[in-house]
């Protein structure tokens, strides 16, 4: 064996050892990130690894030691990246003609349709078909074809979680292919399509004052709205709760909970792809997002010590259960608290951005380009919290 090959063997050994060490570090840090801090009183501005109240003692000690060694930020970001591969954002750039609609049976009567735009929730039974959201208009034919692969009953109801085009775009054509439940002396014309239900602020956002051009055609507007905290529906042998969440993603968000199937459809109050989208122009607010995520956690019940129990269909991204929502709620709460802390110190938006309050989550949820960048998220939270601060002064 030559000196050269011994040397190269040694350096290979070194690389292997380094990889094992790095994998170990990631594993420990990953454990730290998985075990989220408690609900309330998360230290603002504190590093998450240090803030974990119920990480086991040894693991925390090792984590902190290695964190000091390698730099907490690097470990956090790497661990966050390794936590789960980020769902692809390809769908945002794809031509809609090439996108298929996939059907996933969730449980009970409920299915999830995934294609472009927002996810669609489908409830199917003897009385007909109910949809939560309708994706983009261009997807409608494929959505109806997917529904027909499951049921030949009429489409009776569409519930809109909010007014964005990637969730209400298919309202008109899909409602037209359905039939509302009408009878007795309701007259000719009552049975012309599925009913579209939403919070009244969804209708407000889709219409316009008299004399102005409405952003969406009348055929897509909700035919039935509610203005109370909750609307109830009983369809296909199942109680369905439509729960308004004020000032969150927009001002008209609803959660839709299928009680018998034990599935909750969250609209854009929860997603697995990006930081929460706060539509300031349409009344969105970070506090409402945190409140909505806490409402979801109140409703969901996990299966004992395993995945499942109540399933949550997010506005965008993959099927989730309570643990996923918990992690997301913690992330949103921690970032809100960090920005709150910086706002209290009187920092400008530019200073807050420079402080990088989202850094350890950027590998998982951040974006430099696209419809919802990290900078846009920080700016929206900053505006909400500074407005709240100046109100309280």
Residue selected from 268, 324, 330, 337 as contacting Zn ion according to rule CB under 5 A:
268
Q: Does residue 322 interact with Zn ion by CB under 5 A?
A: no
Min dist. Cβ of residue 268 to Zn ion (A): 4
Where in 148-167 is the site for Zn ion (CB under 5 A)?
A: 164
Min dist. Cβ of residue 136 to Zn ion (A): 12
Nearer to Zn ion, 156 or 164 (CB): 164
- Segment near Zn ion (CB under 5 A); pick from 179-187, 197-205, 221-229, 263-271: 263-271
Interhelix angle 286-299/322-344, rounded to 10 degrees, is 150
Strand order in the sheet with 320-321: 230-235, 238-245, 253-258, 263-265, 311-313, 320-321
Min dist. Cβ of residue 283 to Zn ion (A): 12
Min dist. Cβ of residue 249 to Zn ion (A): 6
- Segment near Zn ion (CB under 5 A); pick from 77-85, 168-176, 266-274, 357-365: 266-274
Nearer to Zn ion, 268 or 337 (CB): 268
Nearer to Zn ion, 76 or 252 (CB): 252
Min dist. Cβ of residue 221 to Zn ion (A): 17
Contact pattern for Zn ion over residues 56 through 75, marking x by CB under 5 A: --------------------
Contact pattern for Zn ion over residues 166 through 205, marking x by CB under 5 A: ----------------------------------------
Nearer to Zn ion, 164 or 231 (CB): 164
Nearer to Zn ion, 164 or 364 (CB): 164
Nearer to Zn ion, 120 or 342 (CB): 120
Binding residues (CB under 5 A) for Zn ion: these are 164, 268
């Amino acid at each position: 064996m030559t000196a050269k090959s011994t040397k190269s063997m040694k350096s290979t050994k070194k690389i292997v050892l380094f990889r094992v060490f790095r994998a170990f570090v990631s594993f420990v840090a990953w454990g730290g990130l998985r075990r989220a801090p408690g609900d309330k009183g998360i230290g603002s501005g504190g590093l998450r690894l240090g803030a974990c109240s119920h990480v086991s003692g040894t693991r925390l000690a090792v984590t902190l030691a290695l964190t000091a060694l390698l730099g907490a930020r690097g470990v956090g970001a790497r661990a966050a990246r390794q936590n789960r591969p980020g769902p692809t954002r390809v769908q945002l750039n794809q031509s809609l003609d090439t996108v298929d609609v996939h059907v996933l049976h969730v449980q009970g009567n409920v299915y999830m349709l995934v294609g472009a735009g927002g996810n669609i929730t489908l409830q199917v039974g003897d009385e007909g078909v109910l949809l939560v959201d309708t994706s983009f208009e261009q997807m409608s034919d494929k959505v109806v074809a997917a529904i027909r692969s499951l049921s030949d009953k009429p489409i009776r109801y569409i519930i809109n979680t909010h007014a964005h085009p990637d969730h209400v775009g298919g309202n008109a054509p899909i409602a037209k292919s359905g039939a509302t439940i009408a009878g007795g002396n309701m007259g000719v014309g009552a049975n012309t399509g599925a009913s579209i239900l939403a919070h009244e602020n969804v209708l407000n956002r889709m219409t316009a004052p008299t004399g102005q051009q409405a952003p969406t055609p009348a055929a897509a507007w909700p035919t039935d709205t509610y203005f109370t905290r909750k609307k109830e529906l009983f369809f296909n042998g199942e109680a369905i709760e439509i729960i308004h969440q004020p000032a969150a993603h927009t001002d008209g968000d609803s959660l839709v909970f299928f009680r018998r199937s034990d599935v909750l459809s969250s609209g854009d109050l929860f997603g697995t792809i990006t930081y929460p989208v706060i539509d300031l122009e349409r009344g969105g607010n970070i506090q409402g997002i945190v409140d909505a995520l806490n409402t979801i956690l109140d409703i969901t019940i996990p299966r004992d010590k395993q995945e499942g129990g109540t399933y949550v269909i997010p506005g965008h991204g993959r099927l989730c259960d309570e643990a996923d929502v918990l992690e997301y709620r913690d992330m949103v709460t921690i970032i809100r608290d960090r920005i709150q802390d910086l706002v209290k110190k009187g920092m400008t938006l530019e200073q807050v951005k420079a402080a990088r309050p989202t850094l350890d989550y950027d590998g998982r949820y951040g974006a430099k380009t696209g419809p919802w960048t990290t900078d846009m998220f920080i700016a929206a939270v900053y505006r909400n919290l500074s407005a709240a601060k100046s109100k309280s002064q």
